[in-house]
Structure formats: C-alpha cells, structure tokens
Amino acid sequence: DIQMTQSPSSLSASVGDRVTITCRASQNIRNYLNWYQQRPGKAPKLLIYAASTLQSGVPSRFSGSGSGTDFALTISSLQPEDFATYYCQQGYNTPRSFSFGQGTKLEIK
C-alpha cells in the first residue's frame, strides 16, 4: 500500500501569510496527487488535481507542485476562510487503491 505523510500536522498562521504544506508518498506516484480542503463540519472540497491543476472555481492564491514522491500545497496570502484542514490523496494505482494523508490543520495565529 502507498502511504501518504503530510507535514506539518498543524500550523498556525496569520491572515496575509504565505504557507506551504507538504505531502510525501512512500513510492513514486508521478502526479497522481490531489489536494482537498475541509472546513469543520463540512465535506471535503477538491482544490487541486494532478498535483498542480487548480479545480474550477478555486482561488488562484492556491497552488500545487511536485511530482514523484514530494508534493506541496501553497497558499500565497491567507484569507480568513482558508483556516481549515487540508488533505492530500494519491490515486496512483487507480482504480485499485486510494489513500489520504493524515491531514494538516491550519489555524489562526
């Protein structure tokens, strides 16, 4: 099974800050990597697919990068609505097996 490890597990930042969350896969997954945002009590929302492509309607302050085993999600200037938990998800062995990272909780400093 492919394991996904996110860091940090939690992060405190201020409105306007630039933040980066990383995700590491236990083996090469090329760019089969998606990012989701989950606000408390809500369903996850797709932000980025294929490691770096912004889903329609997602603000351009979100960006994704990486390939192989190391990936990053960057928010260029934090807005109040961005304080949430973020998950990476691999689908390399699609359609056989998916897995999520453990999540990164982004909190207001």
Partner 1 sequence: QLQLQESGPGLVKPSETLSLTCTVSGGSIGSSSYYWGWIRQPPGKGLEWIGNIYYGGSTYYNPSLKSRVIISVDTSKNQLSLTLTSVTAADTAVYFCARGMYFYDSSLLKRDAFDIWGQGTMVTVSS
Q: Which of 13, 24, 52, 76 binds partner 1 (CB under 8 A)?
A: 52
Q: State the nearest-atom distance from the C-beta of 24 to partner 1, in Å.
A: 15
- Phi first, then psi: give them for residue 92, nearest 5 degrees: -60, -45
Which amino acid type is present at position 9?
S
Q: Which of 49, 62, 71, 83 binds partner 1 (CB under 8 A)?
A: 49
* Residue 5 · residue 87 · CB < 8 Å: no
Residues 6-35, interacting with partner 1 (CB under 8 A): 31-32, 34
- Phi first, then psi: give them for residue 30, nearest 5 degrees: 50, -120
Query: Which residues here bind partner 1, judged by CB under 8 A?
Result: 1, 31-32, 34, 36, 38, 42-46, 49-53, 55, 87, 89, 91, 94-103
